[in-house]
Amino acid sequence: MLDHVDAEKNVQKIISATEHEVAPSYELQHSHDSEDHEPIQERYGNPSYSRFHRVASKTVISFGPNDPENPVNWRTGKKSLVIAAGILQVMNSTIGSSICSNAIPQIAAEFNITNETVLVLPISIFLIGYIVGPLLWGPSSEYFGRKAPLLISFVLFMIFTMACAVADSYASLLVFRLLNGMVASAPIAIVGASFADIHNDPTLRGRLIAYFMACTVFGPTIGPLLSGFVAAVGWRWCFWIGLIFSGATLPLIIFMPETYAPVILERRAQKLRKETGNLSIISPLEIQIRNVREMLVSTISRPLRMVIHEHIVSLSSLYLALAYAIFYLYFEAYPIIFQVGIGAVLAFLIFIWYDGFLARAKARNASWTSIEEYRRLPLACIGGPLYVISLFWIGWTASPNIHWVVPFLSGIPFGMGFLLIFMAMLNYLTDAYKTLSASAQSAASCTRSILGAVLPLAAKPMFDRLGVPWACSLIAFLSLGVSLIPFAFIRYGDRIRTNSKFCQELK
């Protein structure tokens, strides 16, 4: 069974044997145009467009360096459409995760729910959907392209949101929330990869991932605000408002172009076969075996294989999972929405400053800028301690004897730390795994959603038994332990990537 990395590796071996080289990401360098297929050259005679290689009996197509259909060469307007559609999809997903949080009392009253553990299920079960969904959506985007999974999942998201609005029982509401979470996980798994598709420059790509991460923070904070206003009219209106927002977003997704280069090349090869009658023209993606069973096995297993065998993925996922779970725990325990928003804005400003600092250092040819870990991880080294401090802060100041402003302000370093951690770690995953970044991010999304769904359920027993100070301290000590991970990556990351099967196959 071959996935597309294995297929590309085999293509490279074949071409190497015939004294031609294949560059990464399907761009075939030192190309040798086929001499026996003149119609191809008439159609794409410009050397800045398609390139062709003879591989055994096949003619393999690739992008030239200035090919206008290569996503990295698109016009600014076309890239802006992708960015806008991606950001709005993520906002729909993350707002949807918490859209009913302030309507829980009304939902409980209508369906006669009194058990406090059961009351949090509309939020937790949505996050359980986040566990399952990325295993399908992320890797499938590496076979079928980014647009199809995003469009299909978004239409289903709208359908299940409407189903939540008309649910006639608590059980049916929970089922639809689960399904909603499964399809809402698609943009979380794919959008970051689609941003990476349209930019080769790590600086620009990093900024887009920062926008993506800002949406994942602001979305869950906007949801409770909306439900707080709308719940007075009726809890069902929380979902109707969400449906209206998603309906306004849908046209952008419909007109969003495909961004995944291997799929664009596959479509070009199909078009050329039809136009020229030359059935030997193929894309690198078509070389692999693609029956449904093998595709499904590869799709589902790749994120799992990454979590098990890739130390960068497993340790990053552990760090992100704990931070994410604490984030959702706090939204159920404390009213810190405003402060977290301020902290997130400050974190974004820090990211922009560091981005400029890095660009100036690269312009001076500073040697450290060539080390991949230094491009992203210093922000996590700042964010981790801020996150830990905020947890101790709120735990030991949330007391009737201390003015409410003191614990209130703990949300600012909390928001700063959370966003800095996520921007740094997800950018690092994207840089390390490139065309497989959707699978890497799916693995991270799945693991953090597991903890994000479970920890809030355990929150009340933990706080009841330990008390607020020591419960927060327990979480803080756990956060302190995982905050060492980016420091370890800075020290050993290059060695880890050198020994990584996935990283080496992408070179």
Q: Quick one: pLDDT at residue 35? A: 41
Q: Are residues 111 and 176 in the same domain?
A: yes
Q: How many domains does the chain have?
A: 3
Q: Which residues pair with 62 in a beta bridge?
A: 51
Q: Are residues 361 and 450 in the same domain?
A: yes
Question: What CATH number is associated with residue 359?
Answer: 1.20.1250
Closest of 229, 243, 189 to residue 430, by C-alpha: 189
The greatest distance separating any two alpha carbons of the chain, rounded to the nearest whole angstrom, comes to 86
Q: Are residues 116 and 244 in the same domain?
A: yes
Query: How far, in Å, CA of 320 to CA of 199, rounded?
Result: 24
Q: Are residues 484 and 380 in the same domain?
A: yes
Query: How far, in Å, CA of 102 to CA of 106, rounded?
Result: 9
Q: Quick one: pLDDT at residue 52? A: 60
Q: Are residues 142 and 60 in the same domain?
A: no
Q: Are residues 500 and 356 in the same domain?
A: yes
Q: Are residues 265 and 329 in the same domain?
A: no
Q: Quick one: pLDDT at residue 337? A: 57
Q: Quick one: pLDDT at residue 163? A: 96
Q: Are residues 329 and 249 in the same domain?
A: no
The 3-class SS string of 338-374 reads: HHHHHHHHHHHHHHHHHHHHHHHHHHCCCHHHHCHHH
CA-CA-CA-CA torsion sign (408, 332, 395, 446) = negative
Q: Quick one: pLDDT at residue 211? A: 81
The residue from 271, 288, 305 where one domain ends is 288
Q: Are residues 264 and 249 in the same domain?
A: no
Query: How far, in Å, CA of 44 to CA of 410, rounded?
Result: 60
Q: Are residues 268 and 339 in the same domain?
A: no
Query: How far, in Å, CA of 279 to CA of 283, rounded?
Result: 12
pLDDT by residue for the chain (507 residues), tens only, comes to 444 444 444 444 433 433 333 333 333 333 344 444 444 444 444 434 556 666 566 778 778 778 888 999 999 999 999 999 999 999 999 999 888 888 888 999 999 988 877 887 888 889 888 888 887 887 788 788 899 999 999 999 999 999 999 999 999 999 999 999 999 999 988 998 898 899 887 778 778 877 887 787 778 778 877 887 888 888 999 999 999 999 999 999 999 999 998 899 888 888 888 888 888 788 777 776 555 566 667 667 788 888 888 889 999 999 999 998 888 777 655 655 567 778 878 888 898 888 888 888 888 888 787 777 888 899 999 999 999 999 999 889 878 888 878 887 888 899 899 889 988 998 888 888 876 777 887 788 788 878 877 777 777 788 888 888 898 999 999 999 999 999 999 988 888 888 877 765 655
Half-sphere exposure of 28 (CA within 13 A, CB side): 30
Rg, Å, the chain Cα set:
24
Print the domain residue range for 361. 297-507
Q: Are residues 235 and 281 in the same domain?
A: no
Q: Are residues 374 and 470 in the same domain?
A: yes
**pTM of the prediction?**
0.74
